[in-house]
Structures are given as structure tokens and as C-alpha cells.
Amino acid sequence: MYAIEFENVSFSYSGTDVNDNLTKTEEVLSDFRMKVEKGAFVALLGRNGSGKSTCAKLINGLLVPTSGKVTVLGMDTQDKKSLFEIRKKAGMVFQNPDNQQVASIVEDDVAFGPENIGMPREEMKKRIDYALKVTGTEEFRKAQASRLSGGQKQRVAIAGAIAINPEILILDESTSMLDPKGRREVMSVIRTLNREEGMTVIDITHYMDEAAEADAIYVLNEGKIAKTGTPEEVFSDAETLERCGLELPRAALIAKKLKEGGLPIDGVNLDKGGLSEKLCELFRKV
Amino acid sequence: MRIVSEGLTFTYNKKTKFAKKALDGVSLVIEEGEFFGIIGHTGSGKSTFIQHLNALIPVEEGTLKIGDRDLSASVKKSKKKKFYRELRSKVGMVFQYPEYQLFAETVYDDVAFGYKNFFPEAKKEDIDAAVYGALEMVGLSREQAGKSPFELSGGQKRRAAIAGVIVTRPEILVLDEPVAGLDPKGKRELMALLHYLHGTACKTVVIVSHDMDEVADNCTRIAVFSEGKAVMQGSPAEIFSKTEELVNLRLDVPVTAYLSERLEEVGTKIETDYSVADFTEKTIKAYGGKSL
């Protein structure tokens, strides 16, 4: 069983005028297929409007496909009876931390989800303690959420999402409003959850460095999959990157330019540490 | 117009228990014609500083001169207030996520709003010329001017918001995190737009950024803010060669600076301004020279 499976999924938004007549439909996803293994870390890339966020909303049943089928841990999102279960299993964190905060005190905010699903008190206490601990937000559990930094708030949002013990975590540009430090904090929490707790992660992002750490990347363009593969495979495909409005991670861009200038550097070089070793090796030799 | 600040100090919620010193003696010069970068952590005082530049925050302590307009604490309020309106038309301010501030029914009306605020007596044809001129500069067509801002894409909305600021033809354009949240292509296009404006509509561009690579690639000079002070200022070459100081301030360094430092450890010094173009060119040269 896959954690998430999209089978030939299409989705159209339709608009209505004041008299509720259907005005126009716009297909944002067409014939989309994706299989995500349990415990995988998958990045979704693509320019604004390419269908990434629609994809995220289809996973936890906020939207249902116009045609095709989305299955989450074997449950069909169109089956209304499973919807509650699906949303328990697929937590979501959005872009703006201020928009997803419900209570003023951190631990109350984290408790909102477990309370909603009627989790028994003893278990709830354990889950909240765990969620605060794994996201590194224990120290301000009694603090006012509004007084935290962006990175801290977003970690609280993640704590809230994982407090209901989901198996899948969906991040919809969750690091885009954070400064580099906040981004690092959040990504390190995500890595821990993925690697140590086996949580399946879907990361929708504009940061290429973030995507470079994923197990697999899906590139979306105009509602279709333009490319899928490992970060190395995707970032070595210059034509796709150009066509889909993406860019190389910084280190890879520098490596590419140096190679074009005649330096014998092989590979895609997604990380600066690896590239620096290769460069130093080259300069030591001559 | 030159920007000169000396000992600029500001405390939020003064005389309350929430008092927080946001600026603590900022001394900084931004010359006319620069593409200036301000970097530093969240809470280091960057945003508070730029809000002083067009008197959104009045100077509480210290001196600040924008061209020949003296905003210093020592100058009488009544005297300063007389030139606030003019100052604000000359120092354009684009906040973070400015597209959230679009409000009018059409893009045209939104851009015209700023102009009419500053020039209430303006005739229809003057407004038309200013608005369409500003929209053309940011790359929006006359057809798009008639649309609702909500029909535009994210990148276009941000351009419309910038048009609403440059419509008064400010000499200094200040932008707080101009490319935040845009996709890679949107980022590239917006940076290109800022360089275009820098050469045409505006003399000086000041950007606040968290992205060291972006600053290294684009800025002529940089100031590093930390705990309410401008702790470092200089060219990218000067700032990013001091990687240790930046790391001590818990800031990132551009990838080019990281690689330069590693290369220097193995005996190769690359003299560069740390932009990708310059760094790769110099590295290729250094390698060519060595391998011959």
C-alpha cells in the first residue's frame, strides 16, 4: 500500500456568476499520477499556478478530483466515510503561520487538533508533550504564540499538525515567509520526523536547496507532471528546469559555470560541501 | 539624495514594560546612485531603520538627513512636518508582500491612488500619464491596467504594487524583502526590474534581504544589522571576505564566499566580489593559470 496514490487525476476549478450559473472552468491538474511510498520525502516543484497547492488539497480531501482517484493509505478521498480518518492521517502546514493559529497560548494551540478528534485526555497529554519535544518548542509551551518569531510559530504549527499522530505531513510553502534561520529550524524538524519517526513528507517549495534533500522530486508544469526523479536526475535536466521556471541550487549553478569554463568537475553538485571538496582537490593537484 | 544617519536610536513602546530598543545608534551613509543591501536577522532593526527614511517613524534620537532635508531629533517637529509629504513622494517605500495592500477595483485605480494622494490638484491627463508610465516601467500593459488586481498572477500583483509607489517618481526606492515568496523565475524577473528601475526611474535602490547570495549578486554596497546597530558596512568584496565575523553574528555567507574560504585554506586566493559571475570567472582564470 502506498502512502499516497494519484491515479489519472484531473481537477478543474469552476466559477459561478451571481445567479449560480457555471461561468468558466479552468483545469489546474490533468492526468496527474503520483505514487508516494510510506516514509518517503517528496518535494513538489513548479512555478506559481502550476497546480502544486491543488495537489496538496486533494491529498487530505479539502478538494476532490473532477476525474480520477486519490487514495491515502488505501482510503479513497471521495469516500465521505473515510474523510475524517484521512484528515487524521494527513496533517497540513500552510505558508503563513499567523493564519493557522487558533489559540493564544502555545500548548492550547497544539491541543486544538487532539481535542477535536476526541483523543482521551491521558493520550492527549502524551501526544502534546511529544509534539512539543520533537519540534523543539517545549521551552515556550506556556508562551503567547503571537510573540514568537516566524520560525518558532511555524514549528508550533507543525507541532499542532503532528499532535493528532498523522502518518503524512504536507507542507505547502511552509518555509517561504521565514528567514534563513527559521527555515533551517523548520527543515531540521521535518528531517527528524521523516528519518527518525518514519513520517511521509510532501514538501511544496520554491527553495531548490530544500528540494535537493528530498528522496524524490515531482516537477509540475501547467497541471501536468513535467519530470519526476531523484534530485540529481531532476537538476541535471536543464531543459525542464528552464521550461518549468525553476533554477539550479546555488552550488550546482556555480559548478555548472566552472565546468563550462573548463574545470573538470563531474556530477550535479547539489551541496556546497561536496563541491568545495572537489574544487580543493583540483587546486591541490595543479 | 544622500542618506546620512548618525547615532539613530529608537525604542518601541517606550516607558511601558514592553519597551524594546529596536535601533541603538545606527550610523550609516547611503550614497546617491547605490544599489544598497541591508542584511541581518529578524529583529535586528532593518525594518525599523528603513521606516525612518520616509518619516513613517519620526526620529526620536540621533541625526538623519535625506539629501538636504534634516529629520534629526534636534530639528523642530513643526519645521519637519512641512516637508514630510514631499519627502514621502521622493522616498518610495515598498513593504513586504505589498500585493496584499492592493485594494482598488482596477490596477489603474490602485496605482492612481498614490499619485492623487501626493498631487491632489493633478489633472486627469497628468494622472493618466503618470499611471500608464509607471505601469509600463514595471511591465504591465494598458489592458492589464483595466483589470482587477485579483486577476493578476502573484508576480504581476507585486509589480502593480511597485508601480503604485514609483508613480510619484521617487529618487530613492526602498524595498523590504522584494522577492520573498516568489517562484525562482518570478524572483529573477523582479530583480531584473529593480536593476532596470535603478538605471531609469530611481537613482538609489535600497533593499532589505535575508538572502546572502542575492545580495552578493546584486548590491553595490551592504550594511549588516545586528541588535539595532549597523555593525558592518562596505562593498560585497569587503563584507563577504569577513566570513568569520558573519558566522559570529549567526548569519549565512554566500556559497561563493564559502567556496573561496575553502580554496584559500588550500592555498588559492580568489580576489572576487562574490557574485556568481565574478567568482566563477576568477576561479576559472586561477585554475587556467595554475594548470599551465
pLDDT at residue A215 above 90? yes
Q: Is A264 on the interface with B (CB under 8 A)?
A: no
Q: Which amino acid is at A197?
A: E
- Asked if pLDDT for residue A22 goes beyond 80, the answer is no
At B126-139, the pLDDT tens digits run 999 999 999 999 99
- E strand map for chain A: 4-16, 22-36, 41-45, 67-72, 75-76, 90-93, 168-172, 200-204, 216-221, 224-229
Q: Which residues contact A131 (CB under 8 A, 6 or more apart)?
A: A110, A159, A160, A162, A163
Length of chain B: 292
CA dihedral B57, B59, B60, B64 (to 10 degrees): 150
What's the rounded Cα separation, in Å, for the pair A280 and B266?
6
Give yes or no for residue B277 having a pLDDT over 90.
Answer: yes
Residues in a beta bridge with A170 = A92, A202
Portion of chain A with pLDDT greater than 70, in percent: 96
Confidence of residue B57 (pLDDT cuts 50, 70, 90): very high
User: Are A286 and B210 in contact (CB < 8 Å)?
Assistant: no
B137 SS3 class: helix
Output Rg (C-alpha) for chain B, integer angstroms.
Answer: 21
A147 in reach of chain B (CB within 8 A): no
pLDDT in tens, A230-247: 999 999 998 999 999 999
- Residues with Cβ within 8 Å of A211's Cβ and at least 6 positions away in sequence, in order, are A43, A45, A203, A205, A217, A231, A234, A249
Yes or no: say if B254 and B269 are a contact pair by the CB < 8 Å rule: no
The mean pLDDT value of chain A amounts to: 91
Q: Cα–Cα distance between A35 and A179 in angstroms, integer? A: 32
Q: Is A149's CB within 8 Å of B43's CB? A: yes
More confident residue, A22 or A103: A103
Q: DSSP E strands: which ranges in B31-171?
A: 35-40, 61-66, 69-70, 91-94
Q: Which candidate from A49, A254, A283 shows the least CB-CB separation from B279?
A: A254
Residues A181-200: pLDDT tens digits? 888 888 999 999 999 989 99
- Cβ distance B183 to A250 less than 8 Å, yes or no, reads no
Using the predicted structure, report yes or no on whether residue A212 has a pLDDT greater than 80: yes
Q: What is the mean pLDDT of residues A143-152?
A: 85
Average pLDDT over residues B186-200: 93
Q: Answer yes or no: are the C-beta atoms of B136 and B201 closer than 8 Å.
A: no
CB A241 within 8 A of CB A206: no
Residue A48: partners with Cβ closer than 8 Å, 6 or more residues away: B153, B154, B155, B182, B183, B186
Of the candidates A190, A176, A110, A186, the residue with the CA atom closest to the CA atom of residue A151:
A186
DSSP A105: B
Q: What is the share, in percent, of chain A residues with pLDDT greater than 90? A: 69
Distances (CA, A) of B204 to A37, A220, B134, B172, B288: 52, 38, 17, 5, 38
Q: What is the pLDDT of residues B244-256, one digit of tens each?
A: 999 888 888 999 9
Rounded Cα distance between A127 and A160, Å, is 10
Distance to chain A for B172, nearest Cα, Å: 25
- pLDDT for res B291: 65
> Nearest CB to A179: which of B210, B263, B283?
B210
**Residue A173's closest chain B neighbor by CA?**
B181
The whole-number pLDDT of residue B32 equals: 96
The count of CB pairs under 8 A between chains A and B is: 105
Flag whether residue A282 sits within 8 Å of chain B, measured between CB atoms. Answer: yes
Q: Is the pLDDT of residue B161 over 90?
A: yes
- Asked if the Cβ–Cβ distance from B42 to A257 is below 8 Å, we say no
With beta carbons less than 8 A apart as the criterion, state whether B177 and B116 touch.
Answer: no
pLDDT in tens, A100-122: 888 999 999 999 999 988 899 99
Q: What are the percentages of helix, strand and coil residues in chain B, rounded to 5?
A: 45, 20, 35
Confidence at A73, pLDDT banded by 50, 70, 90: very high
Residue B118 has a pLDDT of: 92
Please, which residues have CB within 8 angstroms of residue B27's CB and are 6 or more apart in sequence? B5, B6, B7, B8, B230
Interface check for A280 against chain B (CB to CB < 8 A): the answer is yes
Going by pLDDT thresholds of 50, 70 and 90, the confidence category of residue A16 is low
- pLDDT > 70: what percent of chain B? 99
Q: Is the ipTM of this complex over 0.85?
A: yes
Residue type at A73? L
Model confidence, pTM: 0.88
- How much is the pLDDT for A95? 86
Tell me the average pLDDT across A162-188: 88
In the numeric block, the cell 523548520 is attached to A186
Maximum alpha-carbon separation in chain B:
70
Query: Are the CB atoms for A137 and A162 separated by under 8 Å?
Result: no
For residue A217, the Cα-to-chain-centroid distance in whole angstroms is 11
Residue A99 reports pLDDT greater than 70 = yes
pLDDT at B265: 92
The reported pLDDT for the residue numbered A152 is: 87
What pLDDT was estimated at residue A181? 81
Look up the CATH number of domain B3-253. Answer: 3.40.50.300
- Do B183 and A245 make contact, defined as CB atoms within 8 angstroms? yes
Q: Alpha-carbon distance B161 to B280, whole Å?
A: 35
**Nearest residue of A to residue B253, measured between CA atoms:** A180
Question: Which sequence spans correspond to the domains of chain B?
Answer: 3-253, 254-292
